């Protein structure tokens, strides 16, 4: 995810200051890692430098002075371009899950690989139950549900891979040891 593009998207609805952008991000992307205020302001600084946003005013409600930002035409164009770009499937397997299993096998320890796969499957099942309860909780927003569905889809794929790999550990160990 590009924080800059998400902020551009949030600004598409009108001027906002950094605090509002952080809050909107955390509300609209409930399963994403929350943004730090410093990250928001650093990103706004880069977007302003690059001509994608500009300051639209200052306000001071009962706290520090806040600068509002608005999309420029260049920012709207960049956002539109980004929204039409297809996200390419990852060309390489970069999962920590995959790497740990291979390293366990390289260490010639099939039992360690099996124990890791079993423990990881239990952790995935726990997270799957948590996400399912988020989806079914009263007051769950559509954003909560689609974020949970996305994460559940990935967990489901990981669980299928864990199951298959657990069944293949002996064969994988022979192949890696060769």
Alpha-carbon gap, residue 126 to 132, rounded angstroms: 10
**Matching residue, tokens 């730090």:** 36
The pLDDT value recorded for residue 54 is: 94
User: What tokens were used for 87?
Assistant: 């996200």
Q: Which of 20, 8, 1 is nearest to 50 (CA)?
A: 8
pTM above 0.75, yes or no: no
Give the residues across from 176 on adjacent strands.
none
Residues 54-72: pLDDT tens digits?
998 887 776 677 889 999 9
**Matching residue, tokens 């929350």:** 34
Residues 67-99: pLDDT tens digits?
899 999 999 999 998 888 877 766 656 677 777
**Backbone dihedral angles phi then psi of residue 120, each to the nearest 5 degrees:** -65, -40
Low-confidence residues in the chain, pLDDT < 70: 1, 62-63, 89-94, 104-108, 176-178
CATH code of 3-84, in short, is: 1.10.10.10
**Matching residue, tokens 């909780």:** 137
């Amino acid at each position: 995810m590009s924080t800059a593009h998400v902020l551009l998207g949030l600004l598409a609805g009108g001027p906002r200051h950094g605090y509002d952008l952080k809050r909107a991000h955390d509300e609209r992307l409930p399963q994403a890692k929350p943004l730090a205020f410093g990250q928001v302001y650093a990103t706004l600084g880069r977007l302003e430098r690059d001509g994608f946003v500009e300051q639209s005013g200052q306000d001071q409600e009962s706290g520090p002075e806040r600068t509002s930002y608005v999309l420029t035409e260049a920012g709207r164009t960049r956002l539109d371009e980004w929204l039409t770009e297809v996200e390419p499937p990852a060309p390489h397997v970069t999962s920590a899950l995959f790497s740990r299993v291979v390293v366990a096998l390289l260490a010639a320890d099939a039992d360690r690989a099996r124990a890791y796969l079993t423990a990881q499957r239990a952790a995935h099942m726990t997270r799957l139950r948590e996400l399912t309860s988020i989806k079914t909780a009263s007051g769950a927003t559509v954003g909560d549900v689609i974020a949970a569905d996305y994460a559940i889809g990935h967990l489901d794929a990981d669980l299928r891979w864990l199951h298959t790999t657990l069944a293949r550990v002996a064969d994988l160990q022979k192949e890696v040891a060769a």
